[in-house]
Amino acid sequence: MQFGRYFEEFEVGAVYRHWPGKTITEADDHLFCLLTMNHHPLHLDAHYAETATQFKRNVVVGNLVYSLALGMSVADVSGKAIANLEVESLKHENPTFHGDTIYAETTVLDKKESTSKPDRGVVSVETRAHNQRGERVCTFRRRVMVPKREAHPDLQPADSRAAGSASG
């Protein structure tokens, strides 16, 4: 099973559909809010949300949705990353509610070899998260530094190195 990609394996325009999705529970949302010290009542207080907001129910904190979509993308995009360089944009497009299931996909936008270190390159991607109704809830673009295959054979699983050397 592949975890991440080498620089050579990225193709501009490729789309990776991340699986599985994640259904966000009230407990997930409340724990994330408490861990990150975001105590806004829109996320934590059902009575407040019902009586004082346009949605009439709690809204999942946006950074949890972003974090889930980012995490979903790791196996396909940054599992071999040397560094996550930048999140260049982040947009929350629709609210997410307790019980919604988030899915994500990533498109490769660009890739450039490093000019200072020949063993790596930088890949630019856009990840989009949507809910079970197909409504887009979050979009972000980021740049990731990834190794080239020949320069970093130690990042390959031991069994694939052995199989590669045995087959020539």
More confident residue, 167 or 65: 65
| 138 membership: H or E segment, kind and range | strand 136-147
pLDDT in tens, 48-84: 999 999 999 999 999 999 999 999 999 999 999 999 9
Sheet holding 136-147, edge to edge: 15-23, 101-113, 120-130, 136-147, 83-92
Domains defined for the chain, CATH in brackets: 7-166 (3.10.129.10)
Q: Rounded CA gap, 46 and 48, in Å?
A: 5
| pLDDT tens, residue by residue, 14-35 | 999 999 999 999 999 999 999 9
* Mutual angle of helices 26-35 and 62-73, in 10-degree steps: 100
Beta bridge partners of 112: 122
What pLDDT band is residue 153 in, cutting at 50, 70 and 90? Answer: low
What contacts 159, CB < 8 A, 6 or more positions away? none
Average pLDDT over residues 82-109: 97
Q: Rg (Cα) of the chain, in Å, rounded?
A: 19
Helix (H, G, I), strand (E, B) or coil at 11: coil
Distance between CA atoms of residues 5 and 26, nearest Å: 34
Is-contact 42 52, C-beta < 8 A? no
How many H-runs (helices) and E-runs (strands) does the chain carry? 5, 5
Could you tell me how many residues make up the chain? 168
